[in-house]
Structures are given as structure tokens and as C-alpha cells.
Amino acid sequence: MNKPRILITTDMECDDMNSMIHLALHLDEIDPAGFVYTASKYHFNGDGIHTLGEVTPHYSCGGELAYSGHAGYPHPDPEAVNLRSYRPFEEGWIESLWKNEYAAVYPNLLRHSPDFPSPEYQLSITKTGNIAFEGDVREETEGSAFIEQVILDDDERTLYLLSWGGMNTIVRALMSIHEHYAGTACWEPILSKVYKKVCILGVADGFGQDNSWLDHGKQLFPELRMLRTEFIHAGFLAAKFAQEDAVHTFRAPWLKENIKFGHGPLMEKTILFADGTRIYGEPENRQYGLITVLDWGWDSMPAYHFDQYDWIGEGDSTTVVPVLPHGLRGLEDGRFGSLAGRLYPDGETLEKKETYNPFLPAFQSEWAARADWCVRPYEACDHPPLVRVLTNDCTVSPGETVILSAETEDRDGRGLETEWSFYVPGCSCSAAELPEIRGPRSLRASFTVAEDVCVPGCLAAVFSCRTKGVKPITRYGEVMLNIRK
């Protein structure tokens, strides 16, 4: 399997920590290229000399008003200009995760997949980037130089840069590439390489939690690929507002049984409301491991109260989930969707067809299954089935009958459940206009394209294959059928 290559920059918000812990369970499915600390408008550690205003006049930081209980606080805070640090994060947290909690369960993870990277390798690719101030791109750092090196290396696979905080360390790396090569004979090939190789996946606004891309990066690399996802995965309010068939997986009873307790030190490190975790550098009303209230002081958002061990957040996993190679083809073509819905370029508007993510319940089930991998033997756990779709993408005509065919392999021997369906957001017609699939639960199904179907158009067919274990794991395949006259 050609694994996706991923490099993460993070400002170590508590939801980043949870995202990192969850990601550790999927390290066998990706090729981790690096983990780099960076700053953001929410967290920066200072340099002991300057203020935020001296380094980044165009900042976004909400300052102390953001956690002082001041309703409708200005954003950015004019007083933040004088900050010398802001909610500083714990340096060395990621390294400690690899050396301790991940290392403790690593031998058991290898029993389930030999592709989990060693703790030593993980440590070797963890670096410190531009962490002094939000938007700080003043100088090269260990982390920015490392990102530059990875971008320019000989690996031709797409490099997914996942921005979990500010973009400034990524931007500093791009600035260094421009400074080192622009105007030289090799600039055009390098520029072409950057555009072909790099794809940035960000959360929220798509270009990170600072202004560094807009201030410094966009003018240097205006054609850089930047993608966003249709759905936010496991955000701060998931325990309140996740879709009905998955909301229980963000609440205390399910999390206590399947994640937090009895699954080794890696899962025990997951931060839940009032679980006793004190987060370095945070003010008291952001110490979610000690409280059960989420109150950001926004006029448009009330304070929310939770039960002990309810979910806090894992919002930055939004960038990881669509890249996991589970058989959906959204990275290839946004119409296919991903585990986090359709993908689309930053700056474009996506026409909403659904408010429901059909892949979320299965992904949450796999979280529980992989948590078991930390402590249980191979034969006691579920493992991903192997799926191969035999029907190729093709062009079909109205009235034509289409055969959908797939092969599967059951690695656990407990049986598989399969189903063919249409991915509605990827189809050019509405759910009510979709043709009926005959034999949808068999490996070989069929349907007939309606005579009056809208042309030109398309139908995205999804094959799902689910294990029959206690904690099922699902894999997918997809076919795109273009309809002509």
C-alpha cells in the first residue's frame, strides 16, 4: 500500500493532544514525515525579549480578555500587543508521548500490525519550530529547516502538511525555499516541485490560526494547494451536538468503557472533562481536565455544562481523517468524499447536500477497536478487512445496466457484512432520484440508469465492508460513473 505521507505542525492546544493520541493508533496506515511545534494566536511561548506587537503587528490574538469572562471581547485584543507569551504550551510533550505512553503499548501494537513506527523513529522526526510568537517568521528554526528539507527531498509522493495551529513554521520553511533558490537556475524546477508535491490541510479557515500565510506566504506561492473538509471531526461540542448515531461515542459511558480505562497508558492519556488532567500554561477556566464547563465568553455561544469524562475535543483530527487510506477516494477527486466528507479548495464554497456524515459511526467504532490493540492479543480484536473493487470508473448511458463488483478478505475469520450504496453528495441527482441497487448486500450488485436521468451527470457508488466483531472495522471502495447522452 502506498501510504499517505504526513507532516503535522501543532500549537499543542488540548484538542491537539487528543488528536495526537488518536493519531498514534493509526501510525501503521500513514508514513509520518514529521511533527513540529509551532505558535498560533492561541498559544505562543515568547522569546524572553520581545512583545507580540514588536514581532507581529498584524496579530489575531484575543489576549487575556478571551478567558477573563468578558462578554463580546474584541478580537484581536488591543492590549495583546504587550504580551510576552500567551497560554504557553509544554515543550517536550510530544517527545514524552513517544518515549513513555506510546513506547509502553508499542510492543502490543506490533502484534496487530508490523507497520507501526518505533518510538525512536518518532522521536527522530519531532522538532521545534517557530514557537516564540503568533505569526513569527523572523528566522529559520530547527522545525522550519526540517520542513524545508522534507519538501525538497527526493520522495515524489504528495506531502500533506497538516496545520493544527498557526501556519508560521510552514510559511517560514516556504520563505526559506524562496530565499535560497529564487532567481537561480534551479528555481523553476523547485517551484514546480513545491506545487506538485505540497498539499496543506488546515482546520477552520483553512490557512491556519494566524495571519502568516496571508502576510508572507501567499504572495510567494500563490498556487499552493490548500484543502478543507466538509465536516469538523470531534470538535469541542461533539458531546452535545454530534449526529444522533454517533453522539454516544463522545459521552462519558462509552469513553470510559472503550477508551479511557483499561486500554493502557496511551489511551489513559486522552483528556476528558474533569478527568484530573492539569494542562500546562492554561488559565483556570481553560483547565478542562479539572472542570465541566466550556465557556468561551462569546455573546453568540452560551456556556455548556458536561458530565465528568465527557469528550473535550479533537478538532485537529479533521485534517488526519480524510487522509487515512480506508478506501474512499476524496483526495483523488473531491466528489468521492472522505471520512470527513467532501474535500474542496480553500476559498471555494461547497454546496451543502447533507448535514450527516455517513462514515462517522464506523470511524468511531474503529477507534474503540484500535484502543483494544494497545492491550489485547490479536485473536481478541478486530482488524481491517481487505477490499478490492473490480468495477472500474466508466461512462454509462441512460437505460444502461451497470454491474458493481468487489472482492473481500476476512482477516479475522468472523464474517463480513457488505453493502453497495450511492454517496449522495457525490452524485449529480438527489437521493430520491437515485436508481435502486439490486443485491446491495452482495459482492456483485447491479442497477439500471434511468432513461430520464439528468445528463451530463455522475453517480458515485460506495462499497462498504464491515467486520462482524464486537467492535467492527469498516473499509470502503468507490466507483465513479459518468453519465452521457
CATH number at 157 reads 3.90.245.10
Residues 318 and 416 in one domain: no
- C-alpha span between 184 and 191 (Å, rounded): 11
Sheet of 416-422, strand order: 394-396, 474-483, 457-467, 416-422
Report pLDDT for 203: 66
For residue 401, the domain's CATH number is: 2.60.40.10
**SS3 label, residue 184:** coil
Burial class (CB in 10 A: 0-12, 13-18, 19+), 89: buried
**Could you give the C-alpha distances from 477 to 389, 421, 461, in angstroms and in order?**
6, 11, 8
| Interatomic CA distance for residues 481 and 460, integer angstroms | 6
- What pLDDT sits at residue 369? 98
DSSP string, 207-273: T-SSSHIIIIITTTSTT-EEEEESS--S-TTHHHHS-TTTGGGGSHHHHIIIIISSSHHHHHTS-BT
Predicted local confidence at residue 422, as pLDDT: 97
91/88 Cα distance (integer angstroms): 9
Alpha-carbon torsion angle 269, 272, 274, 276, nearest 10 = 0
Residue of 249, 311, 263, 299 whose CA lies nearest to 14: 311
Residues 232 and 295 in one domain: yes
Under the phi-then-psi rule, with left for phi > 0, alpha for psi from -120 to 50, and beta for the rest, what region is 185?
alpha
What CA–CA distance (Å, rounded) separates 205 from 193?
26
The verdict on 211 and 339 lying in the same domain is yes
Q: With beta carbons less than 8 A apart as the criterion, state whether 330 and 322 touch.
A: yes
Host domain of residue 464:
384-483
pLDDT of residue 351: 78
The total number of structural domains in the chain stands at: 2
The last residue of one of the domains, among 350, 366, 381, is 381
Report which residue type is found at 259. Answer: I
Q: Are residues 255 and 365 in the same domain?
A: yes
- Regarding whether 375 and 391 lie in a shared domain, the answer is no
The pLDDT of residue 409? 98
- Do 225 and 299 reside in the same domain of the chain? yes
Residue keyed to cell 462482524: 468
CA dist 304 and 330 (Å) reads 34
Picking from 346, 381, 416, the residue at the C-terminal end of a domain is 381
343 and 470: one domain?
Answer: no
Instruction: Classify residue 65 as exposed, middle or buried by CB count within 10 Å of its CB (0-12, 13-18, 19+).
Output: buried
Whether 13 and 64 share a structural domain: yes
Residue by residue, pLDDT tens for the chain (485 residues) are 689 999 999 999 999 999 999 999 999 999 999 999 999 999 999 999 999 999 999 999 999 988 886 666 677 999 999 999 999 999 999 999 999 999 999 999 999 999 999 999 999 999 999 999 999 999 999 999 999 999 999 999 999 999 999 999 999 999 999 999 999 999 999 999 999 999 999 765 556 799 999 999 999 999 999 999 999 999 999 999 999 999 999 999 999 999 999 999 999 999 999 999 999 999 999 999 999 999 887 777 889 999 999 999 998 999 999 999 999 999 999 989 999 999 999 878 787 667 899 999 999 999 999 999 999 999 999 999 999 999 999 999 999 999 999 999 999 999 999 999 999 999 998 888 999 999 999 999 999 999 888 788 999 999 999 999 999 999 999 999 999 87
* pTM reported for the whole predicted model: 0.96
Note whether 107 and 17 are same-domain residues: yes
Would strands 474-483 and 444-448 be described as parallel, antiparallel, or unpaired? unpaired
Question: For residues 83 and 59, is the Cβ–Cβ distance under 8 A?
Answer: no
Cα 61 from Cα 50, distance rounded (Å): 16
Query: Are 344 and 391 in the same domain?
Result: no
> Which of 317, 346, 381 marks a domain boundary?
381
Query: What's residue 208's pLDDT?
Result: 79
144 & 65 share domain = yes
Got the DSSP string for 39-71? --SS-B---SS--HHHH-SS----TGGGGTT-T
> Are both 131 and 71 inside the same structural domain?
yes
pLDDT for position 75: 78
